[in-house]
Structure 1
Amino acid sequence: MTQSQIRRTLLQRQFELTQRLSALEVDLQKSHSHDWSEQAQERENDEVLEAIASRTANELMQIDQVLRKIGSAGYGICVNCGHAIGKERLKVLPETQHCVSCAKLAH
């Protein structure tokens, strides 16, 4: 996969995530029911939506960082150890900033 193909893939994913985040924000701004039992369920749902929104925002941030690196010598280099990230890993996870070894250490 070339860097231009990776860029297109990341831009498409960025668009999808931006749309998802916008929809989540709209859902989170909806007013709650006046019924106490309904409010409890709605608040639980809000917690789930907030967690999804947080993960989505984090993924968008990662994609933005990687898009700034594409075309430079920094793309495909692990931010932890400085070694090259494998081409197969980049094909599967073009937004990754960690080689397999460092990713394993993080989990």
Structure 2
Amino acid sequence: MEEYDELGQQLAERLAALVKRAEIIEDDLRQPLNDDWDEQAQELADDEALSGVDEVLRNEIVQIRLALRRIEKGRYGKCTICGKDIGIQRLKARPIATRCIEHAV
């Protein structure tokens, strides 16, 4: 699957960046709250936003890991609905795609 080597490398690099970013967010979320009530309110609002970002990051991390596993198993680039090849242009645009353009929802 040499044609997917470059995409696999891009996915691996993206995964490393996302994991690092998620770790930073988790460290920030573990910080104790300020003693000042006004500051606490702001920190809680910030933490809620960070939790949302962390959830999105975690979801993308899972999707990338699954895509990398499909590359390893030789199933990458195949539509999970019809089994046909997913176009390379679609994979370049969305490397975690699991469906061909015909079955994309």
TM category, shorter: 0.7 to 0.9
Match in the other structure for 1:42: 43
Aligned residues of 1:18 and 1:60 also touching (Cα < 8 A): yes
Pairs aligned (count): 104
Unmatched tracts of structure 2, length 5 or more: none
Q: What does 1:1-107 align with in structure 2 at a 5 Å threshold?
A: 2-103=3-104, 105=105
Q: Quote how far apart the aligned CAs of 1:41 are.
A: 0.9
Q: What is the alpha-carbon distance in structure 1 between the residues aligned to residue 36 and residue 72 of structure 2?
A: 55
Report the 3-state secondary structure (helix = DSSP H, G, I; strand = E; otherwise coil) of the residue aligned with 2:103: helix
Q: What is the alpha-carbon distance in structure 1 between the residues aligned to residue 29 and residue 80 of structure 2?
A: 34
Q: Quote how far apart the aligned CAs of 1:85 are.
A: 1.7
Q: What is the alpha-carbon distance in structure 2 between the residues aligned to residue 69 and residue 4 of structure 1?
A: 12
Q: Quote how far apart the aligned CAs of 1:15 are.
A: 0.5
Q: Which moved more, 1:83-92 or 1:38-47?
A: 83-92
RMSD value, Cα: 1.7
Identity across the alignment (%):
36
Q: Normalization by structure 2: what TM-score? A: 0.87
Structure 2 letter corresponding to 1:78:
C
Q: Quote how far apart the aligned CAs of 1:81 are.
A: 4.2
Q: What is the alpha-carbon distance in structure 1 between the residues aligned to residue 69 and residue 21 of structure 2?
A: 22
Unmatched tracts of structure 1, length 5 or more: none
